[in-house]
Amino acid sequence: MTKIEKPPIVILARPQMGENIGASARAMKNCGLSDLRLVAPRDGWPNPAAEPMAASGKDIIQNAKVFDTLADACSDIDLLLATSARPRDLAKAVISPRDGAHKILEHHQMSETGQAAFLFGAERTGLDNDELATADMIIQADLNPDGSSLNLAQAVMMMAWEWRAAMLDAVPQAKTVSTDFARDLASISDKEFFFNRLETLLDEKGFFTSPEMAPVVKRNLRTFFTRGQPSVQELRTLQGVLTVLSRAPK
């Protein structure tokens, strides 16, 4: 399998119905995706309602990994694209499903070891602000405003197909990306460690003067740093800055 053919991971955050998880696995199988990760499924896991809906994707259901938190599920991910019908007021790039698929292809051309993932939210509420803030970019489909709501499995199918179509178009003329432009992007786990350290240091310095506004300010900071998709080296530099600042008098 060449780098450009490597399929993205599918992460379902707080999925509610086993049937929807199973149908999502079926959509993944249709398009050649296989790695399914579940974050805090409402009805627990395994769920007997999932397997009948999975059809040929039963192996995906049987091998699905379950995590307590989104951070744990993304620990090895260095490009996370969140899907949302309502991007909210976060200052993040909002791209189309097709552009999202091409972003993943470009990412895998740049890095043999890089892992990319599509993130989907719960059926009733979608992704919350904190989950969206974790992502590098947000994908929004330009659907009919009078009926833009998708079933979870439909959303997974849309993104899985866009990836497959882009991959099939790209493979014949795939070119090696010059290492001069390749960047070893920081993983979600690396960024989470940095964010937690930054927030702790700012709290110690008395930066968060309003307890009510602190969560919003923290989300804004996370959005600012993830928007640029920092590399491993860039994040190490920022960690060095925090180390120096932590030595300064309070």
The pLDDT assigned to 234 comes to: 86
How many angstroms separate the Cα of 128 from the Cα of each of 98, 131, 132, 229? Answer: 23, 5, 6, 21
Nearest to 10 by CA among 24, 20, 22: 24
* Interatomic CA distance for residues 166 and 141, integer angstroms: 16
Topology adopted by domain 3-173: Alpha/beta knot (3.40.1280)
* Interatomic CA distance for residues 156 and 187, integer angstroms: 23
pTM: 0.73
The pLDDT assigned to 238 comes to: 86
Write down the domain spans for the chain: 3-173, 188-247
pLDDT per 10-residue tile (average), the chain, 250 residues: 70 97 97 97 96 96 97 94 80 91 88 88 92 93 87 96 91 48 74 89 87 87 82 85 76
Contacts of 232 (CB under 8 A, 6+ apart): 184, 185, 186, 190
My answer on whether omega of the bond before 172 falls inside 30° of 0, hence cis, is: no
The pLDDT assigned to 248 comes to: 61
Tell me the CATH architecture of domain 188-247: Orthogonal Bundle (1.10)
Dihedral, 65, 69, 71, 76 alpha carbons, nearest 10:
-10
Asked if residues 127 and 119 have their Cβ atoms less than 8 Å apart, the reply is yes
The pLDDT assigned to 5 comes to: 63
